[in-house]
Amino acid sequence: MGRVLSGMRPTGPLHLGHLLGALDNWKALQEAHECFFMVADLHALMGEYENPAQLRSFSRQMVIDWLACGIDPKQSTLFIQSEIPEHAELALILGMLTPLGWLERNPTYKDQLREIEGRDLTTYAFLGYPVLQAADILLYKADRVPVGEDQLAHLELTREIVRRFKFLYKKDIFPEPEALLTKSSRILGTDRRKMSKSYGNAINLSDDEETIRKKVQSMITDPRRLKVSDPGHPADCNVFSYYGLFAEAAKAAEARDWCENAKKGCTDCKRELGGLLAEKLRPIREKRKIYENDEKLLESILAEGQARASAVARRTLQEVKKLLHLIP
Ligand code: TRP
Ligand code: SF4
């Protein structure tokens, strides 16, 4: 039984892409592994430091999304990064042995500097983003880290830090963590681009029924189907791909028939899908409500996670400090 650690930055509500990508994967992992799932609020702050007002609420809302999707606080440890000061302390120590060149070469860093507009990310902390991530993983001596493709470079850096640590202090206290690559979910946003909060094309796990229906109604369909009497091409229609992901096979076959044989128009086809999706997400919405209405319950889950994570983190940091002659 390996130990798993993963994290997400709380930058806004989670959506269907998170459900079909990371969360379904986490849910499966928790059955067979000891899992730590972390709200990476310090990492979020590295990008959002100019505008932190919603950070705390995003963190809690994200934990509610996790719980509602079936992450089980009895099986897994759920915690908030900033509540465990050992993350910051180990990151500082690892920073001492991380060559600047490794960070400057990091492709994710270079991409983000280039792509992200309207925010000044030329900060000291942002360059060190992967060092904090290494601390997250190493504090728990995780040997498996489920991440998306965009995080592979960060994981490789963690592995390099582990090797350098071992070389410098002649002690093998950290396993080299392995990436468990999460296949990015195939779901596109309502406008056919990648589903993302920043594109405004996401269907969120916290959306109410009305909002889900409206968003589905706004979806772009087969651009060649202009009139109801035009036969459509399900393979070129994002709406149809949602049928594939969320509907029973028979229902998807029915939609195909409506489309290819021009039996129903897109508005009707989307109305069906809207209802179906709202129904499919109902258990998540209902479970969310339990935690929304019971702040004490949520706080007690987080307190327990904090206690469990803290005990492990404290032990690891002690070990490191001994090796570095900071403590006897
Ligand atoms: N950087 C990750 C992301 O943006 C989030 C993260 C922070 C993380 N610490 C982690 C992921 C440790 C895995 C392990 O997706
Ligand atoms: Fe897409 Fe449905 Fe319209 Fe066909 S009928 S193009 S599947 S929305």
* pLDDT, tens digit, 9 for 90 and up, residues 280-305: 999 999 999 999 999 999 999 999 99
* Residue 95: predicted pLDDT: 98
Asked, for residue 200, whether it belongs to a domain, the answer is no
pLDDT average, residue stretch 48-66:
97
How far is ligand 2, taken at its centre, from the CA of residue 236, in Å?
A: 9
Please tell me whether residues 157 and 226 are part of one structural domain. Answer: no
Q: How many domains does the chain have?
A: 2
Question: In this structure, which residue's CA is closest to atom 11 in ligand 1?
Answer: 7
Residue written as token pair 């009707």: 268
Same domain membership, residue 113 and residue 245? no
Is 196 among the domain residues?
no
Cα-to-centroid distance, 240 and ligand 2 (Å): 6
Residue 44 covered by a domain:
yes
256 CA → ligand 2 middle, Å: 8
Residue 272 in domain: yes
311 shares a domain with 231: no
Instruction: Give the mutation target among 219, 221, 276 for probing the ligand 2 site: most ligand atoms within 8 A of CB.
Output: 221
* One domain, residues 59 and 118: yes
Asked if residue 195 is part of any domain, the answer here is: no
CATH number at residue 263: 1.10.240.10
Mutate to test the pocket of ligand 1, among 4, 35, 38 (most ligand atoms within 8 A of CB): 38
Nearest ligand (C-alpha, residue 21): 1
Average pLDDT value over all residues in the chain: 96
Residues 140 and 56 in one domain: yes
Question: Are 17 and 123 part of one and the same domain?
Answer: yes
pLDDT category of residue 2 using cuts at 50, 70 and 90: confident
Can you name the residues that pair with 4 across neighbouring β-strands?
35, 144
Interacting residues of 43 by C-beta distance below 8 A, sequence separation 6+: 7, 9, 81, 129, 132, 133
Domain co-membership, 73 together with 97 = yes
Whole-angstrom Cα distance, residue 243 to residue 252? 5
Residue 199 located in a structural domain: no
Instruction: Return the pLDDT at 118.
Output: 84
Same domain, 229 and 145: no
Q: Specify whether 34 is located in the same domain as 77.
A: yes
Q: Which tens digits make up the pLDDT trace of 182-192?
A: 887 789 999 99
| Percent of the chain residues topping a pLDDT of 90 | 92
252 and 300 inside one domain: no
222 lines ligand 2 (CB under 6 A): yes
Residues 81, 87 contacting (CB under 8 angstroms): yes
pLDDT-above-70 percentage for the chain: 100
Query: What is the domain extent for residue 255?
Result: 207-288
- Would you tell me how many other CB atoms lie within 10 Å of the CB of residue 233? 15
What mean pLDDT do residues 195-222 have? Answer: 96
Q: Which residues line ligand 1 (CB under 6 A)?
A: 5-9, 40, 43, 133, 136-137, 145, 147, 151
CA–CA dist 204, 293 (Å, integer)? 19
Q: Does residue 167 sit within a domain?
A: yes
Q: Are residues 315 and 257 in the same domain?
A: no
| 224 and 300 inside one domain | no
User: Is 143 domain-assigned?
Assistant: yes
CATH of the domain at 26: 3.40.50.620
Provide the terminal-to-terminal Cα distance of the chain, rounded to the nearest Å.
Answer: 33
Which CB contacts under 8 angstroms, 24+ apart, belong to 49-58?
49/123, 49/125, 50/119, 50/120, 55/10, 58/10, 58/11, 58/12
CA-closest residue to ligand 2 atom 6: 222
| Full-model pTM | 0.95
**pLDDT for residue 325 is more than 90:** yes
